[in-house]
């Protein structure tokens, strides 16, 4: 749209019919921005992996570089969800980790490694 006002007018038409089809218009979210450049998402982890095993995987070739590891668990059952966040001591090491572990495996499982982004105030992987 050429202006925010024009976009708002389009949103007001949401739900109206045009040529027999219902219109749907919404304001999009602002572009995502980086959060803690030294925090990395690691997904597709084995469900019985330990925090120490993730730490060892991350520090392989980068000893002493980890500030913290957080395994994400279900709030109700406390079962591990298969992904973790690793916080490195600095951004350079975090980027090195992403490059070195992209396409790697942990216990035969292909691991997803991504830098973190923020969407609607909540961190997400890129």
92: enclosing H helix or E strand: helix 91-101
- pLDDT over threshold 80, residue 28: no
Q: How far apart are CA 79 and CA 38, in angstroms?
A: 26
Position 19 pLDDT exceeds 80: yes
Q: Is the pLDDT of residue 81 over 90?
A: yes
pLDDT for residue 31: 54
30 vs 68, more confident = 68
Residue 82 to residue 91: CA distance in whole angstroms: 24
3 vs 112, higher pLDDT: 112
Is there a contact between 116 and 40 (Cβ–Cβ < 8 Å)?
A: yes
More confident residue, 1 or 93: 93
12: pLDDT strictly greater than 80:
yes
Q: How far is CA 114 from CA 20, 29, 47, 80, 94, in A?
A: 43, 21, 19, 19, 10
């Amino acid at each position: 749209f050429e202006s925010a006002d024009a976009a708002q007018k389009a949103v007001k038409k949401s739900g109206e019919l045009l040529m027999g089809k219902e219109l749907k218009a919404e304001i999009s979210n602002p572009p995502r921005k980086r959060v803690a450049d030294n925090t990395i998402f690691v997904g597709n982890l084995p469900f019985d992996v330990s925090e120490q095993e993730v730490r060892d995987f991350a520090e392989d070739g980068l000893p002493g570089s980890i500030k913290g590891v957080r395994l994400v668990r279900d709030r109700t059952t406390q079962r591990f969800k298969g992904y973790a966040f690793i916080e490195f001591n600095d951004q350079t090491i975090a980027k090195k980790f992403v490059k070195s572990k992209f396409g790697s495996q942990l216990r035969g499982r292909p691991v997803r490694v991504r830098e973190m982004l923020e969407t609607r105030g909540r961190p997400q992987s890129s």
